[in-house]
Amino acid sequence: MTKYLNEIISSRDNNINLIRLCASIFVLFGHSFALSRANSGFVDPVLSILKFDYSSSLAVDAFFLLSGILVTQSWDRRKAPVEFIVHRMLRIWPALIMCLLITTYFILPLSHEMLGSISKTKELLITPPFYSYLPFNLLFTELQFKVPGVFTDSVFGINGSLWTLPAEIRLYVIVLFLGYFGVLSSKIKSIPLLIISIVLALYLKYPYMFGVLGSNEHLMLPVIFFLIGMLVYVIKDNIKVTKNKLIVLVVIFLSVNGLMQKIIFYIFFGSLLLWISSLQILARKFYIKKDVSYGLYLYGFPIQQLIGQYFSSLNPYFHFVLSVIFTLPFAIFSWIYIEKPLIDFGKIIFKVRQSDQGVRLVLSNMRYQIIILSGLAASVIFSLMASSLTDIFLDKARSNQETLILAYGPDVINKSTPFNVQPNGNSAIWISTKDNVGEDAFILINGERINATAQNKTVSAALPDKFFSEKGILEVQVVWYGLGFKYLTDKKVIKVQ
C-alpha cells in the first residue's frame, strides 16, 4: 500500500537514512573518477548514460532534497528559533571541526610530499595556512581549499566536498526565516506554496540576487532541490508517489529532448527518492541506525586524495573500493563519538531547561559531551593562535619573498560611487603582478585582509563599500604563502576623491 509522504516522514519505517548512506557512497564513487591518478579512459557511468550529469552531483542533489524535507520538519517540530539554531549547530559544526582537526594534524602530514621528509614537515609547521585551514573552514565566508606543499598534484584542494556546506547553512537560515514568520505552516498551505514558489522562481531567473547562497554555479541544482524539499514538506499531506507515476515520467523522459528532458529527469529523480523512502520491505531489511552519511561525506575527499597518491596505479573502480574501506571507520567514529552524543546533548538541554536542577543534570549526565565540545573549541583557538604566531615568525625570522605590482585598477575612485560593477553588484579591483601568485593570495587594504581570486599573475577582489564611502587613500598590497615562506608585493595607492 502506497503511503502519503507525511506518513513516511513521521514513521521510523522509512529509508531516508538508507538513501543518505547510498548518496554519500555515490559521492565517493563519483569523486574516484576525478581523484584516481589512473583515470585516463574511464568515464563516470552515470555521465556516460545521461550526458548532462554525473553520480556525485546527483548524490549531492539527493542530500539537498532530503535536507530540505528534514530541516523543515525539524523547524515544524520545534517552532523555537533558539532550539532550532542550537540543534543545527550541534549537527553540523562539531563533526566538521573534528574532521578538519584530523585532516590538518593527521592526513596532511601523511601526504606524499610530507611523509619521510623531515625538512618539509618542519616547513609545513611554520606555514600559517596549515593552521588557518581549520578555523577558516568553519566560518563559511571564504573556504580555504589548499595548504602550500600538500596535495600539489591535485587541482581540487584538500577537501573539495566542503563547497556545499556554506549554501547548506544559509538555506537553514531561510528555513528559520520563513518558519518564524509562519510561511512553513501546514495549516495555511496557499501562502507557503506561493512564497516558496516565488523564491524558487527568482533564484532560477536571477541567481546573482541570492549571492548569499554562494557564487558557485554548480550550487544551482542543489539549492533548487532544497527549496523543493521545503515545498514538498509543506504539502506532504497531499503527496503520494506510486510506481505508475514513475513509469509515466520515464516514458515522457524518453519522448522529449533538450532542456525539457533534463527537467523531466530531475522530477523523476526526486520522485524516485521519495518512492524508495516509502518501501517498507527495504526498511525492514536495511534499517540504518547509525547515520554515517555525513562522516563519509566529510572524510571521503581527503582520504581519497591520499589513496590517489599512494596507490596511483588504481583505476577509479578499485580506487572507489579502497575509499569506502578506509573512510568508513572515520565515519563510524564520527557518528558514535561526535555526532550522536551531541545530537542527544541538544535534545537533553532543552528538555531540562525548565527544571530547577536542569543545569546540574546536564553537567552530571553529559560530561563526555561537555569535554568534547571544550576540546573542539580549544582546538579552534589553538589553530587561530598558531596561524597568527607563525605569520609573525615569518615576518621577523625570515626574509619575505617580494615581487612587483606592474598594473592595477582603478587608481582613482569617486566617493560612494560603484565601479567595475560585477554581475553580483559588487565593485571590484584588479592587480597584475610581475610573477605568478599563489591560489591562496589575498589583498591587504590599509592592513585589512580582503579575500581575492588569483590566477597566474592576476588578482581581483570585491571591494566592500566601506573602503570608498569617505575620501582618502587606500594602500594596496598582495600577499600569499608558500611552504615556509610569505610572499609580498610592493604597495600601491588608490585615491578616493
Q: List the CATH number of the domain containing 486.
A: 2.60.40.10
Mean pLDDT (the chain) is 87
Contacts of range 110-118, beta carbons closer than 8 Å, 24 or more positions apart: 110/306, 111/150, 111/151, 111/305, 111/306, 111/309, 112/153, 112/309, 112/310, 113/149, 113/150, 113/151, 113/152, 114/149, 114/150
Within a domain: residue 307?
A: yes
Within a domain: residue 435?
A: yes
* 348, 366, 392 - which closes a domain: 348
Cell numbers placing 382: 589553538
Residue that wins the pLDDT comparison between 12 and 131: 131
**Does the pLDDT at position 47 exceed 70?**
yes
307 and 449 housed in the same domain: no
pLDDT band at 212 (very low <50, low <70, confident <90, very high): low
Predicted pLDDT of residue 395: 83
443 and 317 housed in the same domain: no
59 and 132 housed in the same domain: yes
pLDDT band at 358 (very low <50, low <70, confident <90, very high): low
Predicted pLDDT of residue 356: 53
Within a domain: residue 199?
A: yes
* 330, 348, 366 - which closes a domain: 348
Distance CA 252, CA 267 (A): 11
Residue that wins the pLDDT comparison between 184 and 408: 408
Within a domain: residue 386?
A: no
CB hemisphere CA count around 225 (13 angstroms): 30
Contacts of range 457-460, beta carbons closer than 8 Å, 24 or more positions apart: 457/406, 457/432, 457/433, 458/430, 458/431, 458/432, 458/433, 459/430, 459/431, 459/433, 460/428, 460/429, 460/430, 460/431
pLDDT band at 368 (very low <50, low <70, confident <90, very high): confident
* 303, 323, 348 - which closes a domain: 348
Predicted pLDDT of residue 210: 59
156 and 26 housed in the same domain: yes
337 and 209 housed in the same domain: yes
Distance CA 269, CA 247 (A): 12
93 and 205 housed in the same domain: yes
Within a domain: residue 359?
A: no
168 and 316 housed in the same domain: yes
Predicted pLDDT of residue 364: 62
339 and 446 housed in the same domain: no
Within a domain: residue 431?
A: yes
pLDDT band at 428 (very low <50, low <70, confident <90, very high): very high
Within a domain: residue 155?
A: yes
329 and 412 housed in the same domain: no
Number of domains into which the chain is organized: 2
200 and 323 housed in the same domain: yes
pLDDT band at 400 (very low <50, low <70, confident <90, very high): confident
pLDDT band at 323 (very low <50, low <70, confident <90, very high): very high
Full residue range of the structural domain in which residue 488 is found: 401-496
Within a domain: residue 254?
A: no
pLDDT tens-digit readout, 433-449:
999 998 889 999 998 99
Residue that wins the pLDDT comparison between 321 and 224: 321
344 and 413 housed in the same domain: no
**Does the pLDDT at position 241 exceed 90?**
no
Distance CA 465, CA 473 (A): 14
**Does the pLDDT at position 485 exceed 90?**
no
Predicted pLDDT of residue 239: 80
Residue matched to cell numbers 589548499: 146
336 and 434 housed in the same domain: no
Residue matched to cell numbers 569617505: 470
